[in-house]
Amino acid sequence: MSRRHVVVLGAGPAGLAAAVAALEAGARVTVLDEGERLGGQYWRHHEAITDRRLQHGWERFERSRDRIAAGIAEGRAVLLQRAAVWRVDVEPLRLHALVGKPDAPGRRRVVVRGDALVLATGAHDRALPIPGWTLPGVTTAGAAQALAKRDGVTVGTRTLVAGAGPFLLPVAQSLAIAGARVVEVLEASRLPRHAAGWTARPWELAAAAGKGLELAEYARSLLGQRTPYRTGSGVVRILGERRVEAAVVARLDRAWRPIPGTEREVACDSVALGHGFTPRLDAAIQAGCALTEAPPGSPRFVVADPDQRTSVDGVWAAGEITGIGGADAALAEGDLAGRSAAGTPHAALAAARRRRDRTDAFARRLEAHAIQDGWSSWLEDDTLVCRCESVEAAAIVRASGSASRALRLATRAGLGACQGRTCGSSVEALCGERLGLDARPLLAPMRIGELLGGSEATA
């Protein structure tokens, strides 16, 4: 039996699966997550909201939570919630965290040491900039969904959901359950691409039958509300004086350029935008993990070997940071990473590898929804791209070609409060180069007093 200490960063599906698997393999486990509740993005919840239509695979969540609670009772597991990890050292392995309410005074500084680290830091949802997207009433699709799932509230009463990818469907369903009328769901990917992606080699999707049922349930929910679902369409401008009053919607060509003459106005008081996901790579970058190559503006991922090991000794990765593949893929990768990090030899992991490989088919389908370059044609010169520092599209295009440090200093794009988390990929796509906006010296916001002072307790 392994007596390794496995540290897991992230308590979404991947991190929870890794923690459970490492416990089953006999390891000691410490899990850290900045959230108030376990579950990450997929199982975002509140105890007071019990409508299980908002949660898929909830039994798996409960099993994981209970297994970790049993590990705590046995003295083999430690769970640190509201623990924002601000630094990762790998030689020796140490995670530095601030534990307490986000940005509140009096947070505790904690350092966690271990023998192996599983990174499962997930992803942010991505919204492309659109003229008018800074009006009150516009949110990312993920924020709209989080409000519905965790707080039971909606941003408006007539919501337009737009972007790309199957994630728009659970968002629309969550909003409908929370009481909003979803006026339309707009998918930018055009029908032929969409259909080619989803109908090719259907037998491969048999392993993702759960996902198929989930998608069918969302489709039923849209039909029930008589909400139109349109492919090859997007929001190209959002209108309103003080808040959202309407949106201009257009048909999009294959490159996502608006097709002239197809614009129409849709009355709504809120818009939820989701154009896919950006992996949260900052911890992996700080740990020195190798990343995949990709053009500026397209996501890179942590390179992982068949057992989810990264290029750095003693560090594993699982979930959205190794490729966007949905919750089933995150669970299967987490399970494999946790077993491997606990010291289970490669030969004994064949079944876990097969379970992980079966989730690839669904992940590959998501490529049908990849962002296409023509989106920048719906920008206007004064469209804000970096919202924190109020940097307009024209300023970024003008400064492109300068060295990345000069561009950042000249425009301040990506240097504001979100540190490029919202705008980084769009800024890099517009100026056509990587600016290193996903590397951060501090992984979480902290006060200068917290940085300078305070001895660290060992967890």
Ligand X SMILES: Cc1cc2nc3c(=O)[nH]c(=O)nc-3n(C[C@H](O)[C@H](O)[C@H](O)COP(=O)(O)OP(=O)(O)OC[C@H]3O[C@@H](n4cnc5c(N)ncnc54)[C@H](O)[C@@H]3O)c2cc1C
Q: 30: burial class by Cβ within 10 Å (0-12, 13-18, 19+)?
A: buried
* Among the listed residues 5, 10, 77, 376, the single contact to ligand X using CB under 6 A: 10
H or E stretch including 248? strand 246-251
Q: Is 316 in the site for ligand X (CB under 6 A)?
A: no
* Among the listed residues 156, 165, 258, 326, the single contact to ligand X using CB under 6 A: 326
Of 37 and 257, CB closest to ligand X: 37
Long-range pairs for 424-429 at CB < 8 Å and ≥24 separation? Answer: 424/278, 425/126, 425/278, 425/297, 425/298, 425/299, 426/128, 426/129, 426/297, 426/385, 427/385, 427/386, 427/391, 427/396, 428/296, 428/297, 429/296, 429/297, 429/298, 429/371, 429/373, 429/376
H or E stretch including 177? helix 168-178
* Among the listed residues 299, 319, 420, 424, the single contact to ligand X using CB under 6 A: 319
| Pairing assessment for the beta strands 391-392 and 384-386 based on DSSP bridges | antiparallel
* Among the listed residues 23, 35, 304, 431, the single contact to ligand X using CB under 6 A: 35
Q: Is 13 in the site for ligand X (CB under 6 A)?
A: yes
For 325, the token pair is: 């593949």
For 25, the token pair is: 């393999």
Q: Is 68 in the site for ligand X (CB under 6 A)?
A: no
Q: Tell me which stretch binds ligand X (CB under 6 A): 99-107, 309-317, 318-326, 421-429.
A: 318-326
From CA 256, how far away is CA 380, in angstroms rounded? 16
**Residue where the block lists tokens 């890794």:** 18
* Among the listed residues 23, 28, 30, 41, the single contact to ligand X using CB under 6 A: 41
* Among the listed residues 8, 11, 332, 386, the single contact to ligand X using CB under 6 A: 11
Q: Taking CB under 6 A as the criterion, which residues in 146-205 touch ligand X?
A: 167, 170
Q: Which amino acid is at 286?
A: Q
Residue 39 CB, shortest distance to ligand X, in Å, is 7
Q: Is 280 in the site for ligand X (CB under 6 A)?
A: yes
Q: Taking CB under 6 A as the criterion, which residues in 98-137 touch ligand X?
A: 120-125
For 5, the token pair is: 């200490």
For 48, the token pair is: 């007071």
Q: Is 301 in the site for ligand X (CB under 6 A)?
A: no
CA 101-389-399 angle, to 5 degrees, is 140
Residue 251 CB, shortest distance to ligand X, in Å, is 27
* Among the listed residues 19, 84, 188, 430, the single contact to ligand X using CB under 6 A: 84
| Residue 223 Cα to chain centre, angstroms | 27
Q: Taking CB under 6 A as the criterion, which residues in 330-349 touch ligand X?
A: 330
Q: Is 236 in the site for ligand X (CB under 6 A)?
A: no
Polymer length in residues for the chain: 459
Eight-class DSSP state of 290: -
Of 32 and 116, CB closest to ligand X: 32
* Among the listed residues 23, 85, 272, 429, the single contact to ligand X using CB under 6 A: 85
Of 160 and 379, CB closest to ligand X: 160
In 3D space, the residue among 12, 181, 218, 6 whose CA is nearest the CA of residue 93 turns out to be 6
Of 71 and 165, CB closest to ligand X: 165
Residue 342 CB, shortest distance to ligand X, in Å, is 18
* Among the listed residues 19, 42, 297, 323, the single contact to ligand X using CB under 6 A: 42
Of 388 and 444, CB closest to ligand X: 444
For 66, the token pair is: 């209970």
Q: Is 443 in the site for ligand X (CB under 6 A)?
A: yes
In 3D space, the residue among 114, 95, 119 whose CA is nearest the CA of residue 28 turns out to be 114
Return residues touching ligand X (CB under 6 A). 10-15, 32-35, 40-42, 83-85, 120-125, 142, 145, 167, 170, 277, 280, 283, 319-320, 326-327, 330, 443-444
